[in-house]
Amino acid sequence: MDIAKEFDDYMAHLMQGLGHADRHSGLVGYCTGLMLPLSRKSVEPIAARVDPLHASAKHQSLHHFVAKAQWSDKELLRRIAQWVVPQMNFTAGGWWIIDDTGFPKKGKHSVGVTRQYCGVLGKQDNCQVAVSVTLACEQGSLPVAWQLYLPHVWAEDVSRRTKAGVPEDIEFATKPQIALQQIQGLLSEGAPHHCVLADAGYGIDYAFRQGLTDQGLAYVVGITSAVVVWPPGVKPLPPKPYSGTGRPPVVPRRTAERQPVNVKTMALGLPNSAFHDISWREGSNELLTGRFAALRVRCAGGNVGKARLLPEQWLLIEWPADQAEPEKYYLSTLPETTALNDLVHAAHMRWRIERDYQDLKQDLGLGHYEGRGWRGFHHHATLSIAAYGFLMARRLKTGSDVGGKKNFVPCQMPAIPKDYVPRGSPASAAPRYKLDHNVALSTGRRPRDRTGPLSALQLGEPPSTFVTQ
């Protein structure tokens, strides 16, 4: 099928989730602009390139479409998934990948912005942070849920909430709590049960891990070296005998000789024979290989207060041969019969969401939105995901990048007129020093490889339901 015709069909499919027909041109124009090779993909430069002869009017209509129009970003995400997921091959398994990403931001008026940890910068700074859930297979992935994290200072500030248009039902929730709500929402719509992957920011949260288990989901999550476990073959004594009055004791007992240890101490005590060299995928220059050990342990960090004896699960330890101590630790509730190779492969599938963020930010303008409101923030992100979804579906279908995502142009656009003056620029601007735009701070991220399998949404099913094939 001709790529322009396929793009038109994709837009027509998404339009059914917008409601009013007046929003159709905004969808097409904005998604087209996000896929054009623009240095900045906010409303104004998109309008100037998509319709240069009527840039001012186009700017106003696109701004209204993104920041004001009352279409549902969640509904659009469903329709994106309905188009993309049928192209994904889930015969080798599938994953839900949970993560968050930050957007450095100045000032204090943009919704959710405050001083907090920003992964892009690798430090505390002024930024916004959003939590997402990605559906992944070996060959591709797609974000299917997206929500801004609202810090305490915002959740409790009625004035700022009102000004930014934060919905009344949005209350403060931690990032793991937001992720659990997103997963629960997807499962309630019929999404398949697949293994959940998350980094240590989520994995150290016992309530998060238990929440996944309660929903019938296995997981492989990162943890820190301080997490305490009962070593293999060691477990606490049963609770004290019931005296017949009050509530029966449930707290496992410890003795001086029977104590849990943190995972780092246990890893350092393992013999070299416990570790094996495992390769998990092809990197950009070589096969990615590491040194791993896996043990069956019981998590013991909660064995105080009302905690009960927890079931056994996998502890995966990654210890590069050239380092003095282990580099990473993971807890997993995959079956006891799971092979070490499969544990390692699952733990390292998180690279797919990092690649999603990289492509969405560098090529599709995910972090370029300049508005301050809740609705606009989520609309812009959803439209970036819509553009990404079309290109991902094309790549999965053809086995190629269609010439590269950032250079894909579904139709020829006229050049910007020479006399065009960007909105807000004075006719005779004062001279200014030239800036070197090629000098940029490193984000600390190294480029990842592209390289899918899950039950999928079927095209044509009701938009409110996840349907497995």
Please give the helix or strand (H or E) that residue 286 lies within, else none. Answer: none
- SS3 state at 141: strand
Question: What tokens appear for 406 in the block?
Answer: 């950032």
The per-residue pLDDT of the chain, averaged, comes to 86
- Closest among 147, 75, 161, 61 to 110, alpha carbons compared: 161
Using the predicted structure, report yes or no on whether residue 213 has a pLDDT greater than 90: yes
Query: CA angle, 295 as apex, 293 and 300 as ends, to 5°?
Result: 130
Rounded CA gap, 316 and 275, in Å? 10
* Structure confidence by residue, pLDDT tens digits, 277-289: 999 887 777 788 9
DSSP-assigned beta bridge partners for residue 299: 229
Rounded CA gap, 244 and 318, in Å? 48
Q: Which pTM was predicted?
A: 0.84
Please give the share of the chain, as a percent, with pLDDT higher than 70. Answer: 83
Rounded CA gap, 153 and 160, in Å? 9
Using the predicted structure, report yes or no on whether residue 175 has a pLDDT greater than 80: yes
Using the predicted structure, report yes or no on whether residue 436 has a pLDDT greater than 50: no
Of 44-48, 73-77, 294-298, 299-303, the range with the lowest mean pLDDT is: 299-303
Q: Within 197-252, where are the H helices?
A: 200-203, 206-214
Rounded CA gap, 374 and 266, in Å? 46
Q: For 28-51, what is the mean pLDDT?
A: 95
Burial of 40 (0-12, 13-18, 19+ CB in 10 A): exposed
- SS3 state at 107: coil
Q: For 81-105, what is the mean pLDDT?
A: 95
For residue 257, what are the contacts with CB-CB under 8 A and spacing of at least 6?
none
* Structure confidence by residue, pLDDT tens digits, 307-361: 567 899 999 999 999 999 999 999 999 999 999 999 999 999 999 999 999 999 9
* Structure confidence by residue, pLDDT tens digits, 359-412: 999 999 999 999 999 999 999 999 999 999 999 999 999 876 443 443 444 444
**Cβ contact 371:141 at 8 Å:** no
Residue 416 confidence (pLDDT): 54
Higher pLDDT, 55 or 433: 55
Residue 76 confidence (pLDDT): 98
Using the predicted structure, report yes or no on whether residue 165 has a pLDDT greater than 60: yes
Residue 36 confidence (pLDDT): 94
Rounded CA gap, 376 and 111, in Å? 10
**Cβ contact 65:100 at 8 Å:** no
* Structure confidence by residue, pLDDT tens digits, 238-249: 777 887 888 887
**Cβ contact 63:425 at 8 Å:** no
Residue 430 confidence (pLDDT): 43
- Closest among 294, 290, 296 to 274, alpha carbons compared: 294
Looking up tokens 């790529």 gives 3
- What type of residue is 305? G
Q: What confidence category does residue 420 fall into, taking pLDDT thresholds of 50, 70 and 90?
A: low
